[in-house]
Amino acid sequence: MFDLGWLFTWDNIRFLLGGLGMTLAVAGLSIVFSSILGLLLAFARLSPVALIRYPAIFYIEVMRALPILLVIFFTYFALPQIGIRLSPFAAGVTAMSAFTASLVAEIVRAGILSVNRGLVEAASAQGLTRVQTLRLIILPIALRRMMPTLVSQFITLIKDTSLTAVIGILELVRRAQIIYSGPPFQPIPVFALIALIYFVVNYGLSLGSRRLEQAI
C-alpha cells in the first residue's frame, strides 16, 4: 500500500498546478495559432491559383510526414543557426502550432468539400457572392461536421505538449518526473495523479465541444 502523504503536500500540488498552467498555456496558444494558420492553409490549398495552392500543399504534406518531436527539435535547435533565437516556451508554441496547422488545414478542407454543391449553387442562384456563400452557408455546415475531428486533434495537441519537456519546458509531465525522482521513489501514484488531471481536462473539452456542436 502506498503512503501518499508525501505526494499531497501543498508544495507538490502547487508545483503540479504550475505545470498544468504551463501545459494549458502552450496548448491554448498553439490551438489559437494553429487554427488561424490552418484555416489560411485550407483556403490556400483550395485556391484555383497555382502559386497559392502548391506552396500550401507542400507545407501541409511535409509537416504531416514529420514526427512532431523532430519539429520541436528543429524549431529550438536549428532556427538559431539562421539567427532566429526563441525561448523554450516560444519554440514549443511555434513548433506545436506549425505542426498542428497542417492537420487542421486538412480537417477544414475536408469539411468544406463535404458541403453539398447543390447548396452552393442554390446560394449563387439567390444572388449571394462567393464570400457570402462561404460565410453564411459553407462554413456553418462545415464547422458542425468538423467539430468532433477538430476537438480530437486539439486533445491530442494537449497531450503532445509533454514532448516540449525535451527543450526545457516545465509542463505537467516533466514536473511529475521531478517529483517522483526524489525520495521516496514512487512514480506510479504521481503518474496516476497526472493521468487523472489529463482526463478531467480533456473530457471537459470533449463535453464542451458536444454542447457547442449542438448549439451551432
Any domain includes 92: yes
Any domain includes 48: yes
Q: How many domains does the chain have?
A: 1
Any domain includes 114: yes
Identify the residue whose cell numbers are 521516496. 184
Q: How buried is residue 19: exposed, middle or buried, by Cβ count under 10 Å (0-12/13-18/19+)?
A: buried
Q: Containing domain of residue 123, as a range?
A: 23-169
Please tell me whether the overall predicted TM-score, pTM, comes out greater than 0.85 for this model: yes
| pLDDT per residue as tens digits for the range 86-140 | 999 999 999 999 999 999 999 999 988 888 777 777 777 777 777 777 777 778 8
Any domain includes 91: yes
Q: Could you tell me the CATH number of the domain that includes residue 28?
A: 1.10.3720.10
Any domain includes 156: yes
Any domain includes 130: yes
Any domain includes 16: no
